[in-house]
Structure 1
Amino acid sequence: MKLAVFVLFALAGPALAEGLAAKRVIRAGTVLGEADVIAVRAVPGGLSDPSEVIGREARVTLYAGRPLRSADLRAPALVERNQLVTLVFRAGGLSLLAEGRALARGGEGERIRIMNLQSRVTIFGTVLPDGTVFAGGR
């Protein structure tokens, strides 16, 4: 009885990492879901972790098959342009609230311009998770 020996050789080579790309054309302002992305060959600066993409908003138009980069995405907008928002200013134990008009769209943590409706002064503020805008202080 002869014993047949089979030897398998694995060709050693660099492992190809996977990146993420848009599955279809996605307009700016669209929040991405799992069905909007596909795996592609990774490129330098491209995103590869789905948690960095799913639930984020397209900052620019994303084209099918083109790798996604962090600069292409942002936090979903909580404040729309021309929306009335509450401005918050804190100094020590004092909090001042005022009504303002957003002059740009913005997501959580983004700095946007706001016009104070009482004084008509334009200021910058940071969008908070509840959609109010922190205008300064501590």
Structure 2
Amino acid sequence: MRRVCALLLCLAACPAWAEIVVPARTIRAREIIAPDDLVMKSAEVPGALTDPARLVGQEARVALYAGRPIRPGDVVPPAVVDRNQPVTLVFDHGALIISTEGRALGRGAVGEVIRVMNLSSRTTVSGRVRSDGAIEVQ
């Protein structure tokens, strides 16, 4: 009985190996991840991502090196607005819609809040990035 308990205790203490997702090549920061960029690897890495579908189409926030694990903070949704890009500022309140030209002061993905300069008044405002690349201000 003691041998069985000792064997079970030894097996329970062994690390659990799992399939994790790693880059097949070095992926630079701000590069969009494609399915061919990823491979599966058997390793014990707490916090590493295990689902390649969660990574495809995302943007690398930092450089991802071939064979190294990818953690959730290493990827972000892809930016649709880049810094210094001309954008349309939109104020939409019921039947009142006002739009003007602006310049993005930062990068942003859909739904993120970024700062934008209104080119006609030279004031800086914050707004939420829309899927069409316009910035909705309130």
Q: TM-score range by the shorter chain?
A: 0.7 to 0.9
Query: Is 1:42–1:48's contact at 8 Å kept on the other side of the alignment?
Result: no
- The number of aligned residues is 125
Aligned to 1:90: 92
Deviation string 1:34-87 (CA, Å, 9 cap, x unpaired) is: 111111225322221112101111111111222112211112221111111011
Query: Is 1:20–1:42's contact at 8 Å kept on the other side of the alignment?
Result: no
Q: 54, 57, 68: which is aligned to 1:55?
A: 57
Q: 97, 109, 112: which is aligned to 1:110?
A: 112
Aligned to 2:36: 35
What is the CA RMSD across the aligned residues, in angstroms? 1.9
Q: Structure 1 residues 106-115 or 90-99, which shifts more?
A: 90-99
What TM-score do you get using the length of structure 1 for normalisation? 0.80
Q: Once superposed, which parts of structure 1, at least 4 consecutive aligned residues long, lie more than 4 Å away?
A: 12-15
| 1:1-138 mapped onto 2 (5 Å cutoff) | 16-40=17-41, 41=43, 43-136=45-138
Unmatched segments (≥5 aa) in structure 1: 1-11
Query: Is 2:77–2:109's contact at 8 Å kept on the other side of the alignment?
Result: yes
Query: Is 2:16–2:44's contact at 8 Å kept on the other side of the alignment?
Result: no
- How much identity, in percent, do the aligned residues show? 50
